[in-house]
Amino acid sequence: MALVTLEEILRSTRKEKYAVGSFNAANHSMAEAILSVSEELGLPVILGLAEVQFRYVDLERFVPYLRQRIEGMATPVALHLDHGLSLETVYRGLDLGFSSVMIDASSFPYEENVALTRQVVRRARSYGASVEAELGQVGGGEGNLEQGTEADAAGYTDPSQARDFVENTGIDALAVSIGTVHGPFKGKPRLDLERLAEIRSLVEVPLVLHGGSGLSEDDFRRAVACGISKINVFTETSLGAAGALRELLAKGTPLGYPDLTTAAEKRIRDIVRGQLRVFGTPALKSV
């Protein structure tokens, strides 16, 4: 059975210095593209679905479909609820069968973030599921393609608070703010790697980098070297697929719907394949 928890899929990342890619799938076609690369390369992957993306699917049918698809795979896959914004959403995700959930209470005052996250950890344990939470603010907004966002250092994660947060909540993975944004960047990304290394030295659990779209290969490699274990990507696959459709439609040749989805899935596969190679999973040595 390939379905694993976030804790399991990230367990060796720190010691072996690699990151697992976490790609959000807002529909069946995106999910198939992402999972097929995991099968093709024989590599673990995290398949995410964020609360803001629930509007694209019938969640009660989509999650069981994904579980069944993943259980038939040979590679390990964690099925992750990304950015659950309330207890209600996260509990619904656990009932539906996500193997890990994120409670994002990062916009609340610190004590409230701790209290909500603790409640989620307690509940998730009875499902055998993992929990990710966020401290600090990663700017931007998923699905917001109108304009880029600049990273705001005022929202970066405080290293000593991160240690306190992990100890007080019992989470399995911590999302940190070190210079990325969700959605397109305004300006050039500049990661605060010193801060990341300090957080890494103070915190035992795997660290998560949100807002992976728009970073260079060099950014990824350095972030992994400084302790990132999970890298989240959505905008790049989403815009990439839309771009592939535009290019195809611009040719003006007769096209059917499957020609479009095939082109979009191919573009997503190319992006996911390239990024998994950069994130450096050890099994890649044989690929």
- Of the listed pieces 73-81, 113-121, 151-159, 227-235, which binds ligand 13P according to CB under 6 A? 227-235
Q: Which two tokens stand for residue 21?
A: 């890619």
Task: Write out the binding residues for ligand 13P, residues 27-86 only, by CB under 6 A.
Answer: 50, 82-83
Between residues 94 and 181, which has the closer beta carbon with respect to ligand 13P? 181
Determine, following the binding rule CB under 6 A, whether residue 229 of this chain makes contact with ligand 13P. no
Determine, following the binding rule CB under 6 A, whether residue 230 of this chain makes contact with ligand 13P. no
Residue 149 C-beta: closest distance to ligand 13P, Å: 9
Report how far residue 33's alpha carbon sits from residue 239's, in angstroms, rounded to the nearest whole number. 14
- Residues near 207 by Cβ (< 8 Å), separated by ≥ 6? 173, 174, 175, 176, 196, 199, 200, 227, 228, 229, 230
Report how far residue 61's alpha carbon sits from residue 250's, in angstroms, rounded to the nearest whole number. 35
Determine, following the binding rule CB under 6 A, whether residue 93 of this chain makes contact with ligand 13P. no
| Cβ–Cβ under 8 Å, residues 90 and 117 | no
- Residue 237 is which amino acid? T
Task: Write out the binding residues for ligand 13P, residues 117-146 only, by CB under 6 A.
Answer: 142
Name the residue among 120, 144, 129 with its Cα closest to residue 52: 144
| Cβ–Cβ under 8 Å, residues 49 and 82 | yes
Residue 270 among the catalytic residues:
no
Between residues 5 and 106, which has the closer beta carbon with respect to ligand 13P? 106
| Cβ–Cβ under 8 Å, residues 131 and 124 | yes
Determine, following the binding rule CB under 6 A, whether residue 210 of this chain makes contact with ligand 13P. yes
Determine, following the binding rule CB under 6 A, whether residue 211 of this chain makes contact with ligand 13P. yes
Between residues 234 and 279, which has the closer beta carbon with respect to ligand 13P? 234
Determine, following the binding rule CB under 6 A, whether residue 235 of this chain makes contact with ligand 13P. yes
Report how far residue 89's alpha carbon sits from residue 156's, in angstroms, rounded to the nearest whole number. 26
Between residues 275 and 281, which has the closer beta carbon with respect to ligand 13P? 275
Active site residues: 82
Footprint of ligand 13P (CB under 6 A): 24, 50, 82-83, 142, 182-183, 210-213, 232-236
